[in-house]
Amino acid sequence: MEGALKKIRSSGGRITKARRGLIRVFEEADKPLSVKEIRRSLGEIGVKTSMTTVYREINFMVKNGLVKEVNLYPEEKMYESAYLVHHHHLVCEKCGRVEGVGGCRLAEIEQEMYRKRGFRVTRHSLEFYGLCVECNQGVGLMT
Amino acid sequence: MEGALKKIRSSGGRITKARRGLIRVFEEADKPLSVKEIRRSLGEIGVKTSMTTVYREINFMVKNGLVKEVNLYPEEKMYESAYLVHHHHLVCEKCGRVEGVGGCRLAEIEQEMYRKRGFRVTRHSLEFYGLCVECNQGVGLMT
DNA sequence: ATCTTTGCAAATCCTTTGCAAGGTT
DNA sequence: AACCTTGCAAAGGATTTGCAAAGAT
């Protein structure tokens, strides 16, 4: 929260209800959110805003490094806090649940990209799709 | 080409100029294409069509397993042939070039997701972003 | 001949922008 | 007081849909 407020101030921005609300929404979110979900979440904590403001403020927060875009679905942009530690996503294609997983092991592969192809990797995006524990119950079991 | 035509027929579809053209475009593409690029590529091989048809036929081809959606940028859907062998993408953030890389080593990690969390991974999407060989020239060198 | 595909125009949906009013510093 | 942010209405784009004409089998 503090770091976020500081970034806003140092970019010449003001601390408004919408921004406080957004910071809180992203702090409390346990998965990436779509623009609509963000607006709904704001509403749930008593911050009423227009879609216009949500769009504008999300862009502001992305530009200032408070929030990151996440590429889960080709249909819809999702956003999550930029303060989360690096992780990947497990997306259940049945119920839609999204979990984060830490323990990234791509560093070695990235170095190899540089050695073998001269491509200097600065970031990556990795998502797994499938069935979560609950949706997977009984699938493939011989009963 | 043959496999593709067969899939179209077996889904009750007809072999039209647009579809032949699309199959050729995807066979010859060396990177994922946006809807606009697809239309342009069609034009270049002499297949004039409307945007409407491009949208409709791409969706048809995705639904019938000829083409896959690729999640390179949150801004824009991209498409590539579903007949390519599994690969990931290297996206240069300076010049926009996109290369494919084979040699996926995520199988073990996927098994671990199942053992440790019960999540059954069926597919994944991995893209690397950074600077390609050419754009990387001289960067970081002490001259 | 029958059923599918095409392209236009219109409809929809999502996102951005201009601007006057209100909020923050 | 100066400057930033908000929300409305309107504009701009992208994608989808209805429908009559053209095309494929």
Å from B16 (CA) to C2 (C1')? 17
Is B104 annotated to bind ligand?
Answer: no
Is the Cβ atom of A38 within 7 Å of strand D at any atom? no
Do A3 and A60 lie in one domain? The reply is yes
Is the Cβ atom of B56 within 7 Å of strand C at any atom? yes
Overall number of domains in chain B: 2
Do A62 and A114 lie in one domain? The reply is no
Region of poorest pLDDT, from A122-126, B58-62, B132-136: B132-136
Å from B5 (CA) to C10 (C1')? 33
CATH code of residue A94: 3.30.1490.190
Largest Cα–Cα distance of chain B, in whole Å? 63
Distance, CA of A69 to CA of A113 (rounded, Å): 24
Do B23 and B78 lie in one domain? The reply is yes
Query: From its phi and psi, is residue B46 left (phi > 0), alpha (psi between -120 and 50) or beta?
Result: left
Do A20 and A61 lie in one domain? The reply is yes
Q: Could A122 and B101 be called an inter-chain contact, meaning their C-beta atoms sit closer than 8 Å?
A: no
On average, the pLDDT of chain A sits at 95
Summarize the confidence of residues A109-129 as an average pLDDT: 97
Do B46 and B90 lie in one domain? The reply is no
Interface check B124 vs A, CB under 8 A: yes
In degrees and rounded to multiples of 5, residue B123 shows phi and psi of: -160, 170
Look at residue A52 in the predicted model and tell me its pLDDT: 98
Is A95 annotated to bind ligand?
Answer: yes
Do B4 and B68 lie in one domain? The reply is yes
Domain range for B122? 85-143
Is the Cβ atom of B137 within 7 Å of strand D at any atom? no
Among A122, A45, A74, A42, smallest CA distance to B71 is for A74
Among A96, A28, A22, smallest CA distance to A55 is for A22
Do B6 and B74 lie in one domain? The reply is yes
Å from A89 (CA) to C24 (C1')? 38
Do B11 and B77 lie in one domain? The reply is yes
Query: From its phi and psi, is residue A78 left (phi > 0), alpha (psi between -120 and 50) or beta?
Result: beta
Tokens of A47: 């911050």
Do B70 and B113 lie in one domain? The reply is no
Helices B17-28 and B51-63, axial angle in degrees (round to 10): 70
pLDDT digits (tens, 9 = 90+) for B61-117: 999 999 999 999 999 999 999 999 999 999 999 999 999 999 999 999 999 999 999
Report the residue count for chain A.
143
Do A78 and A102 lie in one domain? The reply is no
Amino acid at A101: V
Do B56 and B91 lie in one domain? The reply is no
Look at residue B91 in the predicted model and tell me its pLDDT: 98
The answer on pLDDT for A139 being more than 70 is: no
> Nearest residue on chain B to A124, judged by CA atoms?
B128
Is the Cβ atom of B53 within 7 Å of strand C at any atom? yes
Amino acid at B112: E
CATH code of residue B2: 1.10.10.10
Domain end residue (candidates: B52, B68, B84)? B84
Name, in order, each residue with C-beta under 8 angstroms of B7's C-beta and a sequence gap of 6 or more: B64, B65, B66
What is the Rg, in whole angstroms, of the alpha carbon atoms belonging to chain A? Answer: 18
The answer on pLDDT for A78 being more than 80 is: yes
Interface check A129 vs B, CB under 8 A: yes
Stated pTM of the model: 0.92
Å from B50 (CA) to D14 (C1')? 14
Summarize the confidence of residues A13-27 as an average pLDDT: 98
Domain end residue (candidates: B57, B84, B111)? B84
In degrees and rounded to multiples of 5, residue B108 shows phi and psi of: -65, -45
Interface check B95 vs A, CB under 8 A: no
Nearest to B120 among A101, A118, A131 (CB): A131
Domain end residue (candidates: B58, B84, B110)? B84
Is the Cβ atom of B10 within 7 Å of strand C at any atom? no
Do A34 and A76 lie in one domain? The reply is yes
**Closest nucleotide relative to residue A19's CA, C1' based:** D5
- Which residues of chain A lie closer than 8 angstroms to B67, CB-CB? none
